[in-house]
Amino acid sequence: MSNTIDIQVPDIGDFTDIPVIEIFVKVGDTVKAEDPLISLESDKATMEVPAPQGGVVASIGVKLGDKVSQGSVIMTFQAEGAAAAPAEAAKPSVTAPPSATSAPTGVAEVRVPDIGDFKDIPVIEIFVKVGDTVKAEQPIISLESDKATMDIPAPLSGVVQSIAIKVGDKVSEGSVVLVLATGDAPAAAAAPSPALAAAPMAAAQVAAAASTGIDETAFALAYAGPAVRKLARELSVNLGHVKGTGEHGRIVRADVEAFAKGGGAAAAPAAAKPASATASGGGGGLDLLAWPKVDFAKFGPVERKELSRIKKISGANLHRNWVVIPHVTTHDEADITDLEQFRVQMNKELEKSGVKISMLPFMMKAAVSALKKFPEFNASLDGDALVLKNYWHIGFAADTPNGLMVPVIRDCDKKTVPEIAKEMGELAKLARDGKLKPDQMSGGTFTISSLGGIGGIYFTPIINAPEVAIMGVCKSYWKQHSSDGKTYTSRLTLPLSLSWDHRVIDGAAAARFNVHFANVLADLRRVLF
C-alpha cells in the first residue's frame, strides 16, 4: 500500500488552465492542513491552494508557469501517520468547496479583468464593504471612463476581507480590487485561520497594526498573495515598501525575507526610513488620531444622508490636493468700475442673441493674459520637472445640486468673450443636470472659482491638481479709493484670492500674477500687450 497521496487542484469554479505563479513549499517540507502550497493567478483572481491535510512533501509535480485546472496533481505528500491510515486516505483528498464558484478554502485577490483598451479608469462606486458576503457575478465596483460605465463582477463567491481601492482611484486590467475569503474560510471579523491571517487587515484591525508603523493603505495595495502578506505581517515588513521581483513585479516570499534581513530592494526612497519614523510622527506619514466616533443621536434628533457620488469623488480629490500641495493664498483686488460699465453695455447690445455675459468670461481672458506672462502658472509638476503647457484651457468651479464640478473651456485664448460666455452657460447647465462628460472636465491648465454671484470677500480655494494655481473671486463691492490721500472716489472692487503651489511658484511671482490679472480687468486694452 502506498503511503503517499496525490494533492490535486480543487474545484476552482469556471477557471481552467491557470498559471502557477508561486510554489511555497519544497520537497521534504512538513506542512500542516491549510498551509498554502501554491498560488494560481488568472486574469480575474489570485488563488492559493492550501494543503488539504498535514504531511511531508514527497514530490512536486508542477513548476512556475505551468497551467493547471481542477484535478491537476500538483504534488504528493507522505501522509502523517500514513501507515496506519485507512485506504481512502491514499485517494485524492482535496475537498471541493460546496459552491461551484468558490475558490479553495482560503483567500483570493480579485483584480480588474480584461476591460479592453481602457486604462487608468476612475472607480466611481464601490458596492461592497468589508464583511459583506458576495456571490460570484455580483457587481463589486463600477468604473467610468469617458466612453462607458462598467460594473466589475466578483469572479468568486466569498466574504470581503479588505478593499484595496477607494472611489476616485484609477485602475487598469490587473489592479487589485479586494480580497475575498472564499470557500469555508471565515470572514475577517471571525477568528482568522492561519491562512487567512495572511490577508490585509480589516478596518477594525488596523488600529492595532498602526503601532507597528505599517502603512495599511500601501500594504493593501501591494501586489502580493495572501501567504506573502501573512509572512510580511509576521516579519513586520511593510509590503508597500518592498519591490517585487516576481512576474509583473509581484512580491514573492524571497523579497519579503530579503527585506526583513535588510537586503531587500526598496520600492521607494521612503522605504529606507524605519517604520518607526512614521509611527512616532517623524514626518513620513500622517500620524493622526482616530476620527472621533460620536453617537450624535444621544444629543438630539439626527438624520443620516449619504454623500452624493460627486461629493465623494470631489471630496477625495480635494483632500489629496489639500494634503499633498503646499498651498499659499495671495489676496489682491481689481478695480472693475470701467469693465462693469462695458459689460452692462455689451449685454444690452447682445440682448437679442440670448447670450448674457457675467464677469467670469472677462476673468478667463485676464487669466490667459496672466498665464502667458507667467508660464509657470500654466504648468504641472512631473516628478522633478515642470511641464509647461502651450494651450490655455480654463476650468471654472460650478456649484451643482450634487456638489462641486469643474467644467473646462478649451482654448480660451482663441475664443471671444461672448463665445466663452455661451460655452460656459452650456457647460454649467450640463453640470447642474449631471450630464457633464469626463472629457468636458479634463485637460484644464488653470481654474477660476467664482463666488461673486453669492457673496464673501476672500477665501482659500484648493488647487485643482495637477494644476499649480487657482484664482478665487468673491463679490465686487464699492470701495473708497484715493491716490493722494485727500480726494476719494468710489470704485467697484473685485476681491481676488490666488492659491498657488509653493513647490512651483514663489510669493513674488504670485503677487506679480495678481497685479497683472487685476490690471487687465481694470483696463482690458492690456490684453493686447
Binding region for ligand CAO (CB under 6 A): 358-360, 396-399, 404, 428, 449-453, 461, 473, 475-476, 494
Please identify the residue of the shown chain whose CB is closest to the bound ligand CAO.
452
Q: Are 189 and 129 in contact (CB under 8 A)?
A: no
Q: Are 227 and 106 in contact (CB under 8 A)?
A: no
Nearer to ligand CAO, 4 or 358 (CB): 358
Q: Burial-class residue 106 by CB neighbours within 10 Å (0-12, 13-18, 19+).
A: buried
Cell output for 328? 499659499
CB 427 to ligand CAO: min, Å: 8
Beta strands per DSSP E along 366-437: 379-382, 385-388, 394-396, 398-400, 403-405, 408-409
CB 473 to ligand CAO: min, Å: 5
Q: Are 202 and 162 in contact (CB under 8 A)?
A: yes
Nearer to ligand CAO, 214 or 473 (CB): 473
* CA neighbor of 419 nearest in space, from 361, 492, 339, 501: 361
Q: Which of 241, 331, 393, 502 is catalytic?
A: 502
Determine the Cα–Cα distance for residues 54 and 356; give it in Å rounded to an integer: 79
Q: Per residue, what are the HEC states of 450-469?
A: ECCCCCCCCCCCCCCCCCCE
Nearer to ligand CAO, 195 or 336 (CB): 336
Nearer to ligand CAO, 246 or 444 (CB): 444
Phi (first) and psi of residue 89, to 5 degrees: -65, -25
Q: What is the dihedral of CA 407, 410, 413, 418, to 10 degrees?
A: -60
CB 408 to ligand CAO: min, Å: 13
* CA neighbor of 233 nearest in space, from 202, 278, 187, 190: 202
Determine the Cα–Cα distance for residues 485 and 503; give it in Å rounded to an integer: 39
Q: Are 152 and 117 in contact (CB under 8 A)?
A: no
CB 452 to ligand CAO: min, Å: 2
CB 429 to ligand CAO: min, Å: 9
Nearer to ligand CAO, 175 or 449 (CB): 449
Nearer to ligand CAO, 440 or 476 (CB): 476
502 is catalytic: yes
Q: Are 122 and 442 in contact (CB under 8 A)?
A: no
Nearer to ligand CAO, 231 or 473 (CB): 473
DSSP run (H or E) holding 159? strand 158-163
CB 406 to ligand CAO: min, Å: 9
CB 512 to ligand CAO: min, Å: 22
Residues annotated as catalytic (active site), given as ranges? 502
